[in-house]
Amino acid sequence: MADARIALATYSTAPTLAPDDRLLLSAIEDMGIRAEPAVWSSADVNWSEFDGVVIRSCWDYHRAFDAFVTWLARLDSHAIPVWNPTPLVRWNADKRYLLDLARRGVPTIPTIVIPRGDGRRGASIASAEGWSKIVVKPTVSASGYETHALAAPFDADAADTIARVASMCDVLVQPFAPEVSRDGELSLVFLGGEFSHAARKRAAPGEFRVQVEHGGSVEPTVVSGDVVEQASRAIAALDEIPVYARVDGILRDGALLLMELELIEPNLFLGLRESAAERLARIVVERLEASRRT
C-alpha cells in the first residue's frame, strides 16, 4: 500500500482543502498512504493516476452540476474507487432523495417538489397544506444557495421569488421549522455507518440559514442514545453503507425529523472529536485495500 495515492477532491476556492479536511489528509498520510488535494473541475488533474478519490470540499458542485456529473462518469470510466460511491452521490445530489427516504419510513420534514417553470404553485401549495411559513430551495443545491424563507400572506415579492427560482430548476417547498431558529439544527456524523460525534448549528440573528457562509455558527453537542438510534435509521435505509454521512435534523416532541442526509461534501466537523479524522482515515484505507483485492 506504500505506493497508493489518494485524491481528496475539493473546489477551486479551497485548492488546498477546507481546514477540517486537512485533518483527514494528514491522518491518511500518517498511515503511509500518499494523499493530496485535487480540484474536481480542473483540467490539469489526471484522475487515472489515483488509486482512489474521496469527495470532500466540492462546495460548488451544484453551480456546475452537469460538469460534476460528467466528472463522476469519468471516474467510473477509469474504474477509480470513489468515496462516497458515485451511485450514492448521484442519488443524494437531488433532494428528491428526501421523498425516497420518507417512503422508506424515515421521518422527514414534509417536502413537495415544484417542477421547473411552475413556481406560481408555491403559494397555493402552502395554503393547501396549512403552512403559514415556507422554505423554498432548488432540488440541487448546497450551502444555502437560493434558499428562501417566506411567510404568509404571500405577496407579489414572495411569488416572484418562488417563480424566479423555479424558472431555473425544480424547487422544493417545505414548511418552515421554527426549531431551527430556536434550538439550532443538529448534525450527527456517521463514519463507516457508526455514529461518531454531533454538532449543533445555529443561525445568526435575523437569519434562518445555519451555514457558516451565512453567518451561522457550529458547536459540539451531546445527543442521547435515542436520538442517535433515530438518526441511524436514515443510514440503514440506504442501499449501501457510506464511508461518511451527516444526518441533519431537528427534534420535535422528542422525534428527530430529517432535514438533510449529507453524503457528498458535508463538513464533518472532524476537529470537534479527538481521533475522528484518524477513524475516517482508517475506513478510507480499508475501503482502498478492499478495492485492490477485487
Is a pLDDT exceeding 90 seen at residue 30? yes
Task: Give the model confidence (pLDDT) of 165-212 as tens digits.
Answer: 888 888 999 999 999 888 999 999 999 999 999 999 987 776 667 777
SS (H, E, C) the chain: CCCCEEEEEECCCCCCCCHHHHHHHHHHHHCCCEEEEEECCCCCCCHHHCCEEEEEECCCHHHHHHHHHHHHHHHHHCCCCEECCHHHHHHHHCCCHHHHHHHCCCCECCCEEECCCCCCHHHHHHHHHCCCEEEEEECCCCCCCCCEEEECCCCHHHHHHHHHHHHHCCEEEEECCHHHHHHCEEEEEEECCEEEEEEEEECCCCCCCCCHHHCCEEEEECCCHHHHHHHHHHHHCCCCCCCEEEEEEEEECCEEEEEEEECCCCCCCHHHCCCHHHHHHHHHHHHHHHHHHC
Task: Give the model confidence (pLDDT) of 233-271 as tens digits.
Answer: 999 999 999 999 999 999 999 999 999 999 999 999 999
Q: In this structure, are 168 and 193 located in the same domain?
A: no
Q: In this structure, are 102 and 217 located in the same domain?
A: yes
* Model pLDDT, residue 100: 97
* Model pLDDT, residue 119: 66
Q: In this structure, are 234 and 101 located in the same domain?
A: yes
Q: Which of 132-136, 255-259, 274-278 has the lowest mean pLDDT?
A: 132-136
Phi, psi dihedrals of residue 224, rounded to the nearest 5°: -75, 160
Sign of the CA dihedral running 279, 282, 288, 294:
negative
CATH number at residue 220: 3.30.470.20
Q: In this structure, are 102 and 228 located in the same domain?
A: yes
Of the three residues 175, 196, 212, the one that is the final residue of a domain is 175
Q: In this structure, are 136 and 279 located in the same domain?
A: no
The domain in which residue 228 lies consists of 97-107+179-263
Query: Taking the complete model, does pTM exceed 0.75, yes or no?
Result: yes
Give me the number of domains the chain comprises: 3
| Residue 68 within any structural domain of the chain | yes
Q: In this structure, are 142 and 32 located in the same domain?
A: no
**Residue 38: CB partners within 8 Å, gap ≥ 6?**
7, 8, 9, 10, 45, 47, 50, 53
Of the three residues 142, 175, 208, the one that is the final residue of a domain is 175
* Model pLDDT, residue 214: 64
Q: In this structure, are 257 and 281 located in the same domain?
A: no
Q: In this structure, are 51 and 194 located in the same domain?
A: no
